[in-house]
Chain A
Amino acid sequence: MNKDNEVEVQIMIDMISVRKQYMTGNVQFEALKGIDLKIGKNEFISIMGPSGSGKSTLMNIMGCLDVPTQGEYNLEGISVRTLSSNQLAEIRNQKVGFVFQSFNLLPYATAYENVEIPLLFAGVKARPRKERVVRLLSQVGLADKMANRPTEMSGGEMQRVAIARALANKPNLILADEPTGNLDSKSGGEIILLFRRLWEEGHTIVIITHDQNIANQTHKTIRLKDGMIDNGNGHPQK
């Protein structure tokens, strides 16, 4: 029993026959057709695949933005299927950090405010909140741009704000959906370096990417095709 628990703790993401169906009008569309996937703690994983292969759907389910239609998904040993929307929100707030291709910063809020929001949702008190925001922004090298709004920043800077925001509540899992897709190669390289550093600090990182160079820097690449893991190229962890 003890040993089992230990094994459980080592696993970050555990998906068993996860399926996801969407209704588009009257047409049913199956985005994921049975995914079996295990990702351990402190792994650095990339997900590749052509568009429409279900990468984003998979990531949304990993990050508890969405729930599987069928199958089991355990995040750090918590079964997600039975959770209420409030509990899912709490998991997203505490256990997961999202980084998006288009940054998804609040346009009217400053860098400082953007990073502060997840802490507000978590109910962190004013003083520690301020300390945390300042530390995070320094960590991503934006200590001098705290009062800037997204429109006053470069793409690389915006993405670094987004990463700082993703780290706000010290989540173990960082999910990045093509984080360098909108960046020039120099900024993109910096962002990947940042992810590597986070991985070194102990975070589990999952990156969706089209860029083989980025995939090469990760431990493992999961290839998706038509909503399934493509066993021809990469092997899912069983």
Chain B
Amino acid sequence: MRDFRKQKKRMTLTILAIAWGTISIMLLLAFGEGLRLQMSKNQRGLGEGIVILWGGQTSIPFEGLGRGRQIRFMEDDVSYMQKRMPELRHVAGEYSRWGVNLRYKDKIFGQNVVGVYPCYEDIRTHYPQAGGRFINDLDMQQKRRVIFLGDKLKTKLFGDEDAVGKQVLMNSIPFTVIGVMEEKMQMSMYSGPDKEKASIPATTFSAIFGDQYFNLIIYQPKEFDNMKGIEKRLFEIMGAKHKFDPEDKQAISVWDVAANEKEFNNIMIGLQMFLGIVGGMSLLIAGVGVANIMYVSIKERTREIGIKMAIGAKRKYILGQFLVEAFSITGVGGFFGMSLSYILTETFKRIPIQSDVLSFMGRPTVSLEIGLIVIFVLGVIGFLSGIFPAMKASSVNPVESLRYE
């Protein structure tokens, strides 16, 4: 190790290159990780592991019934599914109507109003802001005229005013605001973002508007590992009820949000691998720098190698010595790089910035896995940049290297 004293400047530069490479791979991975975390959080804005069903049209004749028959969901479909599919945690229907007038004082807006079930709080992430609540079972039973507002809709109607407890008029019928949705990032949606919707109990909805058909049904299974099997079973059960062929994929149109999530996750993993490779490339270049300095140092120390061999150094000792040197350079550079990356990302996390970009991209996050990956890559690069020069060093002829000037 003391051999390093000889070449301080070159050593410092090489360590700097390794540190730089480490920072680049680390920050790129951290950026990818932050993006992945934020995106999957945003993905879950719609709900986690949910499947959304819309009634379709039959495309296969079944038991004497022709094709092109409309399948539509009603309230009893929900209880029917609940009874026959114990693998589901939640089943809920949703009524929907566009252009419903919502009025508070002198402000009137034509909005999308949906009639929903209490489980929407969980499965569709309609979490209320502090001081409010979501629709509950009692609201459903008593068909209460209560309304839960999306956060953007609330601002449109009430501005900065507190909305909970106030009355809005929905098509001239007074409704009490029971809660406002907590702000959330929502990447996927159907019929508009949740922040612009107003939700009322499904029972109240059908009583007021007289709708008998749901716009859609949402279910969430207890386990997410057999989504396809559950979907198959759904077609069998609903096929029996609505009289369509269980193989008729057009009878019900299905949006498996979880499958999207999975696909999305794969894309993110691909992206992270790409970022890792890009970062790894710059580290590799630094590794070439290490190999280079090792070769130069071996050339300069040919005589020293000869002396050591003359006084009894075995080849493996020479090999080990230069390997250790290469590892030390990458180790020191890697340590600085990793520390600096960690400090950078942690500092960035603590700076309070509110921006749409950040809420979309997330903040670079260093995880244990990233640390381990970087250490592994550093190890490989240290080894590769050391082994070839070290092999060269250990294979020199002691007589010739003693003669080397």
- Measured CB to CB, the residues of A under 8 A from B are 60, 63, 65-66, 85-86, 89-90, 92-94, 98, 100, 104-106, 108-109, 113, 117-118, 121-122, 165-166, 168-169
A89 x B314 contact (CB < 8 A): yes
Q: How far is it, in angstroms, between the C-alpha of A86 and the C-alpha of B313 when the chains are bound?
A: 8
Q: How far is it, in angstroms, between the C-alpha of A45 and the C-alpha of B5 when the chains are bound?
A: 40
Within 8 A of A (CB), among B292-311: 303-304, 306-311
The closest CB in chain B to the CB of A177 belongs to B402
The closest CB in chain A to the CB of B395 belongs to A85
Given A104-B307, A109-B2, A121-B317, are A93 and B398 neighbors across the interface (CB < 8 Å)?
Answer: no
A104 x B402 contact (CB < 8 A): yes
A117 x B308 contact (CB < 8 A): yes
Q: How far is it, in angstroms, between the C-alpha of A109 and the C-alpha of B2 when the chains are bound?
A: 8
Show 22 A/B contacts (Cβ-Cβ < 8 Å), sorted by A: A65-B309, A65-B310, A65-B398, A66-B398, A85-B314, A89-B313, A90-B314, A92-B311, A93-B311, A93-B312, A98-B311, A104-B303, A106-B308, A108-B6, A113-B2, A118-B312, A121-B311, A121-B317, A122-B312, A166-B311, A168-B311, A169-B312
Interface string of B138-177 (1 = CB under 8 A from A): 0000000000000000000000000000000000000000
In the complex, which of the residues A65, A85, A86 contacts B402, with contact meaning CB atoms closer than 8 Å? A65
The closest CB in chain B to the CB of A108 belongs to B5
A86 x B314 contact (CB < 8 A): yes
Contacts of A109 in B (CB 8 A): 2
Q: How far is it, in angstroms, between the C-alpha of A105 and the C-alpha of B303 when the chains are bound?
A: 10
Q: How far is it, in angstroms, between the C-alpha of A98 and the C-alpha of B310 when the chains are bound?
A: 7
Contacts of A165 in B (CB 8 A): 311
B307 x A106 contact (CB < 8 A): yes
Q: How far is it, in angstroms, between the C-alpha of A144 and the C-alpha of B312 when the chains are bound?
A: 27
A86 x B312 contact (CB < 8 A): no
Q: How far is it, in angstroms, between the C-alpha of A175 and the C-alpha of B370 when the chains are bound?
A: 56
B399 x A104 contact (CB < 8 A): no
Within 8 A of A (CB), among B313-343: 313-317
Contacts of A85 in B (CB 8 A): 314-315
A121 x B310 contact (CB < 8 A): no
B356: interface (CB < 8 Å): no
A104 x B310 contact (CB < 8 A): yes
Known: A65-B402, A104-B303. 9 other contacts (CB 8 A): A65-B398, A66-B399, A90-B314, A98-B310, A104-B307, A104-B310, A122-B312, A168-B311, A169-B312
Q: Nearest Cβ distance between residue A36 and chain B, in whole angstroms? A: 22
Q: How far is it, in angstroms, between the C-alpha of A86 and the C-alpha of B398 when the chains are bound?
A: 13
Q: How far is it, in angstroms, between the C-alpha of A109 and the C-alpha of B303 when the chains are bound?
A: 14
Please tell me the number of chain B residues within 8 Å of chain A, measured between CB atoms: 21
Q: Nearest Cβ distance between residue A21 and chain B, in whole angstroms? A: 13
Q: How far is it, in angstroms, between the C-alpha of A165 and the C-alpha of B311 when the chains are bound?
A: 8
Residue from the set B310, B317, B398 with the largest chain A CB neighbour count within 10 Å: B310
Contacts of A169 in B (CB 8 A): 312
- Measured CB to CB, the residues of B under 8 A from A are 2-3, 5-6, 303-304, 306-317, 398-399, 402
Contacts of A86 in B (CB 8 A): 314-316
Residue from the set B5, B6, B308, B316 with the largest chain A CB neighbour count within 10 Å: B308
A94 x B303 contact (CB < 8 A): no
Q: How far is it, in angstroms, between the C-alpha of A63 and the C-alpha of B402 when the chains are bound?
A: 13
Residue from the set A89, A117, A122 with the largest chain B CB neighbour count within 10 Å: A89
Q: Nearest Cβ distance between residue B196 and chain A, in whole angstroms? A: 73
Contacts of A63 in B (CB 8 A): 310
B311 x A65 contact (CB < 8 A): no
In the complex, which of the residues B306, B311, B399 contacts A118, with contact meaning CB atoms closer than 8 Å? B311
Contacts of A166 in B (CB 8 A): 311
A121 x B314 contact (CB < 8 A): yes
Contacts of B402 in A (CB 8 A): 65, 100, 104
Contacts of B5 in A (CB 8 A): 108
The closest CB in chain A to the CB of B6 belongs to A108
Contacts of A93 in B (CB 8 A): 311-313
The closest CB in chain B to the CB of A168 belongs to B311
Given A104-B307, A108-B3, A109-B2, are A121 and B399 neighbors across the interface (CB < 8 Å)?
Answer: no
Given A65-B399, A108-B3, A121-B317, are A89 and B307 neighbors across the interface (CB < 8 Å)?
Answer: no
The closest CB in chain A to the CB of B311 belongs to A118
Contacts of A105 in B (CB 8 A): 307
B2 x A108 contact (CB < 8 A): yes
B312 x A90 contact (CB < 8 A): yes
Given A65-B402, A108-B2, are A121 and B315 neighbors across the interface (CB < 8 Å)?
Answer: no
In the complex, which of the residues B3, B303, B304, B315 contacts A89, with contact meaning CB atoms closer than 8 Å? B315
Q: How far is it, in angstroms, between the C-alpha of A94 and the C-alpha of B314 when the chains are bound?
A: 12
Contacts of B399 in A (CB 8 A): 60, 65-66
The closest CB in chain B to the CB of A104 belongs to B307
The closest CB in chain B to the CB of A90 belongs to B312
Q: Nearest Cβ distance between residue B320 and chain A, in whole angstroms? A: 12
Q: Nearest Cβ distance between residue B155 and chain A, in whole angstroms? A: 72
A121 x B3 contact (CB < 8 A): no
Q: How far is it, in angstroms, between the C-alpha of A92 and the C-alpha of B309 when the chains are bound?
A: 8
In the complex, which of the residues B6, B306, B313 contacts A121, with contact meaning CB atoms closer than 8 Å? B313
Contacts of B306 in A (CB 8 A): 104
Contacts of A90 in B (CB 8 A): 312, 314
Contacts of B314 in A (CB 8 A): 85-86, 89-90, 121
Q: How far is it, in angstroms, between the C-alpha of A15 and the C-alpha of B263 when the chains are bound?
A: 77
Q: Nearest Cβ distance between residue B176 and chain A, in whole angstroms? A: 84
In the complex, which of the residues A92, A100, A104, A113 contacts B312, with contact meaning CB atoms closer than 8 Å? A92
